[in-house]
Amino acid sequence: MIRSDLAAKLAGRTTFGADLDRPGMLWAALVLSPVAHGRIRRVDLSKVRKAPGVVVAITAPDVEKLLPKGSGDPERPVFPTREVLYRHQPIAAIAARTLSEARAAALLAEVDIDPLPIVDDIETVFPEWPEPSKKPNSAVVAHVHARHGDLEAAFREAEFVHSETYRTAGVHQVALETHACLAEVEGAIWRVTTSTQSPFSVREDLSSQLGLPESAVVVEGSWVGGGFGGKTSALLEPFALLLAAAAGAPVRLALSYREEFLLGRTTLPCVVRIESSVAKGRVTGRRVRMLLDCGSTMPSRDFATGYAITFLLGPYNVDTFEVEGYGLRTNKPPFGPHRAPLIPQLTFVIDSHMDSIARRLSVDPIAFRRAHVWHEGDSTALGQRIGPSGIDSALERAEKTVLRWRGNAPREHGFGIGVGYWSTGVSAGGEARLRLTPQELVIEQGEREIGSGSVVRGLVAVAERSLGLPASAIRVAYSDTASAPFDSGVFGSRTVGALGQAVQKASEELVRELEARTGTKGSLRLEFDGRSIRAVASGLRRPIAELLTPEELNEGGLKAHGKFYGPPMKFDESRVVAGSFYPVADVVGAVHLAEVSVDRETGAVKVHRYAAFHDVGVALDMAMVRAQVEGGVVMGLGTALTEESLWSSEGSLRNPGLLDYRLPRLNDVPPIEVYPVEGFPGAGPFGAKGVGEPPIIPVPAAVANAVADATGARVFELPLSPERVARALKLL
């Protein structure tokens, strides 16, 4: 199956956010804060306004004049009024006739800020670490705490308690396309076309941030040149809309690549203390403490801390535990989601730790994991029941592959396993409308294709299976938030699992209606001969044209509406001591295997072979599954080995570009073998499980464990740069 978006993309005809254009359009630029923390004394735009080509320039006091209600959300002002909280925070915006005029004018802004002390390091600002906080700490913006069982007894009675501290680095999404949007304000309608993973989330953000009713905000998604979590909420849209309102003309705002690094909401550093009590070859109790850098502000800080922390217990049965996490405010841009936010990092922690315990016990690391791993019917840490789970089956297959690979690899090579899981976001709802015409089936929905194929291919595959139609008869339609059915957006690997169920339900409704019209029951399918669609059942074979009413033929076909809103989920609240925790929805597991060699004199790690075993439920399109897994592994190798945001003590990002922010290059990527594990159905249509995020999750753990296997030395910090490995090898 060839993706329907491919021809236009290969020919360069696709309109991405950065390609948006309108007659009379102005170009925007942002004035960015020169310091990471400070009190604003003065923002003077008079020179900016006189600069060649400048049409409007706005800063905090201008915002209220432009908004119908005079103000938006006081918690999230568009521009800071008194205090800047991170370096490069936008403090003013400019629209000019050309991009170069806008950017040149931005340099003329006179900004007077009294610098204040900055917080850049989470361990420094939390003096009790690794003990819990003893007194109120203004840097703590989230605190989560849960426990179950008698942990003190488990630790007391253990043969040993294995204690380790791990640290992880901030990583960027690095979508090829930067954030970009085009804003138009006409009458009461504030309209923005934007490169987003979720038009409806952007609408909600704009509505609250600008104090506008949702009906006054219209968001249209453009084609998206990669999201990876970085385009799930509003970022540039408020600036562009306010400029458009001020100028009375369309305004386009797109970040340069450098700005994308400086302003992007990304994963930030984290430190974890993890301790496990061990008796009779089993983990009997576990305590984890986590400090998470939340950056300057973050609406979802509770979620980041409370959702992530239970992953530190792994997909393993440990009924006696205590987890405690702190989200800390620092003078960095706000923390933001990145493909399975923070979970590759936390999986590196828990699965390095499991591997380390197995080695201390001198037992096979895979067997040790299999003795603890979740099976169907087991419970999560917060007491939710696990559905059909293929993790153990994946482990079994990885075990056999390790044996085979060891047999034909040089003796100095190391082999490592990473075991990860993800909870796909099938609790977030969505709706889809189907229109069946005599010639085609149209899927009307509110998402945009971000490149993964989950919309152009995933939703189509669901309709194909539901109706019997080939993909060539199915078209996905996109529209703005004023006319598309609601959907939560492309995140959490939920598109096929959640919106796919809406498509499935609408398909079933279509079939029921056609069965009623033809007097058939239970076996009706649709067929396509390249020109027209027929309904087929036993003793029936009729063109759709004959089954539709004249009104339907005139008004776009037979329509069906499918809604999917996940059932409410509960967990055992009695285990929660403090803060917000979140239920897991649909557990999806993956086991990865890495074969590495390590240069014992320099610390350089080379990955030679890689295999990924994925619990996919049912693979609706194996080629797409393979592509997602390969892409996720490559991205994970970056997190594992080379990608790292470097911050100066003045709060500046020191590597805002691809020169020193090192993505994996294809030359450095090993052959990747992808194995689906089927037979453990998930919550999605036909038992499908999400596969967007799971492939990145086990990678850093697999590589780190392979390095430990090759050298006997464990690296406790991501990424595993040559220098960090050299330190672990005691070369310096």
Partner 1 sequence: MPFSLSTPKDPAEAFRLLVAGRPGETALLAGGTALLRDLDEGQNHATHLISLRKLPWNRHAWKGEALEIGSTEPLRTLENDPLVRARLPGLHQAIEAVGSVALRHRATLGGNLGRASPASDLIPVLLALEALVNLRSPRGQRVVDIEQFIISSRQTAREPDELIESVSIPRALPSAYVWQRVRPSNDISQVGVAVALGPPPGRWRVALGGVSPRPVRLPEAEEALVSRRPSEAEVELAAQAAARHAPFVTDRRATEGYRRRLVTTLVRRAVRSTAEHRARRAGPKGGR
Binding site for partner 1 (CB under 8 A): 100, 103-104, 256, 258, 601-602, 604, 606, 641-642, 646, 654-655, 657, 659-660, 662, 664-665, 667-668, 721-723, 726, 731-732
Which tokens go with 331? 């003078």
Per the CB < 8 A criterion, the answer to whether 271 and 129 are in contact is yes
Residues 6+ apart with CB under 8 A from 683: 387, 424, 426, 497, 566, 585, 586, 689
**Residue 355 or 644 with smaller CB distance to partner 1:** 644
Among candidate residues 239, 193, 234, 190, the one with its CA nearest the CA of residue 212: 190
Q: Shortest approach of partner 1 to residue 98 CB, angstroms? A: 9
Q: Shortest approach of partner 1 to residue 723 CB, angstroms? A: 5
Among candidate residues 539, 528, 534, the one with its CA nearest the CA of residue 514: 534
Q: Shortest approach of partner 1 to residue 32 CB, angstroms? A: 12
The CA–CA distances, whole Å, from 134 to 200, 301, 345 equal 41, 21, 27
Q: Which helix (H) or strand (E) holds 699?
A: helix 699-711
Amino acid, single-letter form, for residue 446: G
Residue 529 CA to residue 375 CA, distance in Å, equals: 45
Residue 28 pairs with which residues in a beta bridge?
A: 95
**Residue 102 or 434 with smaller CB distance to partner 1:** 102
Q: Shortest approach of partner 1 to residue 264 CB, angstroms? A: 16
Q: Shortest approach of partner 1 to residue 27 CB, angstroms? A: 13
Please give the torsion angle defined by the CA atoms of residues 514, 518, 519 and 520, in that order, rounded to the nearest 10 degrees: -70
Q: Shortest approach of partner 1 to residue 260 CB, angstroms? A: 12
Residue 162 CA to residue 159 CA, distance in Å, equals: 10
Residue 366 CA to residue 603 CA, distance in Å, equals: 26
How far, in whole angstroms, is CA 665 from its chain's centroid?
Answer: 22
**Residue 576 or 604 with smaller CB distance to partner 1:** 604
Decide: residue 414, CB within 10 A, 0-12 exposed, 13-18 middle, 19+ buried. Answer: buried
Residues 6+ apart with CB under 8 A from 10: none
Amino acid, single-letter form, for residue 311: F
Amino acid, single-letter form, for residue 225: G
**Residue 540 or 669 with smaller CB distance to partner 1:** 669
**Residue 451 or 603 with smaller CB distance to partner 1:** 603
**Residue 11 or 732 with smaller CB distance to partner 1:** 732
Q: Shortest approach of partner 1 to residue 721 CB, angstroms? A: 5
**Residue 161 or 604 with smaller CB distance to partner 1:** 604
Per the CB < 8 A criterion, the answer to whether 82 and 33 are in contact is no
Q: Shortest approach of partner 1 to residue 732 CB, angstroms? A: 5
Half-sphere exposure of 631 (CA within 13 A, CB side): 17
Q: Shortest approach of partner 1 to residue 719 CB, angstroms? A: 8
Longest dimension (CA), the chain: 82
The CA–CA distances, whole Å, from 611 to 349, 394, 412 equal 20, 11, 19
**Residue 619 or 718 with smaller CB distance to partner 1:** 718
**Residue 68 or 657 with smaller CB distance to partner 1:** 657
Q: Report whether the peptide linkage leading into residue 698 is cis, meaning its omega lies within 30 degrees of zero.
A: no
Q: Shortest approach of partner 1 to residue 602 CB, angstroms? A: 5
Residue 449 CA to residue 482 CA, distance in Å, equals: 18
Residues 6+ apart with CB under 8 A from 100: none
**Residue 554 or 667 with smaller CB distance to partner 1:** 667
**Residue 400 or 654 with smaller CB distance to partner 1:** 654
Q: Shortest approach of partner 1 to residue 38 CB, angstroms? A: 22
**Residue 81 or 256 with smaller CB distance to partner 1:** 256
Q: Shortest approach of partner 1 to residue 404 CB, angstroms? A: 27
Among candidate residues 665, 648, 653, the one with its CA nearest the CA of residue 259: 653
Residue 698 CA to residue 637 CA, distance in Å, equals: 10
**Residue 70 or 657 with smaller CB distance to partner 1:** 657
Q: Are strands 533-537 and 540-543 parallel, antiparallel or unpaired?
A: antiparallel
Sign of CA dihedral 50, 51, 52, 57: negative
Which tokens go with 203? 């609408």
**Residue 262 or 455 with smaller CB distance to partner 1:** 262
